[in-house]
């Protein structure tokens, strides 16, 4: 797992509108980069909805919000439309960013072990350095934790 003080790995992924988004596009801005397992699951929907509720606050303070999962652009399009999500959802089907940020890990569920995305949120400073890491976050609390950390 990456930690505070590490340089944030560059990402270059399409969003739900197939527009290529690079982390370096946001140099000079604080970035909240959250990785989630899958579109349209209950936890991921609750997490996205909680970020939707604070999006304007982040935007008004110059903070960029990006969600990342291994779902397709088409899946992200439907998920964003269905849940009125105003922020970019990046499609990482090749697991490039997911592996670079070390969130592709072994998970145990219902007695079975499989590889999957561990729900993780990174706060990246204006210089591209990881400032804060939330590991194995709870979907219902993550947005509030981010707001509290940013003092917003």
Query: Which residues touch 146 (CB under 8 Å, ≥6 apart)?
Result: 32, 54, 121, 123, 134
Tokens 């959250």 correspond to what residue?
A: 34
What sign results for the dihedral spanned by CA atoms 14, 106, 8, 29? positive
Angle between helix 142-150 and 42-60 (nearest 10): 20
Confirm if 91 and 73 have CB atoms less than 8 A apart.
yes
Are 119 and 137 in contact, with CB atoms under 8 Å apart?
yes
| Tokens coding 128 | 């591209």
Catalytic residue among 13, 23, 44, 48: 44
In degrees, rounded to 5, the angle at the alpha carbon of residue 27 between the alpha carbons of residues 24 and 30 is 115
Catalytic status, residue 44: yes
Query: Which positions are annotated as active-site residues?
Result: 44
């Amino acid at each position: 797992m990456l930690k505070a003080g590490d340089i944030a790995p560059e990402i270059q992924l399409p969003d739900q509108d197939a527009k290529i988004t690079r982390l370096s596009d946001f140099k000079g801005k604080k970035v909240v980069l959250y990785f989630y397992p899958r579109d349209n699951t209950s936890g991921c929907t609750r997490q996205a909805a909680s970020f939707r509720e604070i999006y304007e606050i982040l935007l008004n303070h110059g903070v960029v919000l990006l969600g990342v999962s291994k779902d397709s652009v088409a899946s992200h399009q439907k998920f964003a439309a269905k849940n009125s999500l105003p922020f970019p959802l990046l499609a990482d089907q090749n697991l490039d960013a997911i592996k670079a940020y070390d969130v592709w890990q072994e998970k145990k569920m219902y007695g079975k072990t499989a590889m999957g995305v561990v729900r993780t949120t990174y706060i990246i400073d204006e210089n591209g350095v990881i400032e804060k890491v939330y590991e194995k976050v709870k979907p219902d609390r993550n947005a509030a934790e981010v707001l509290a950390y940013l003092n917003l």
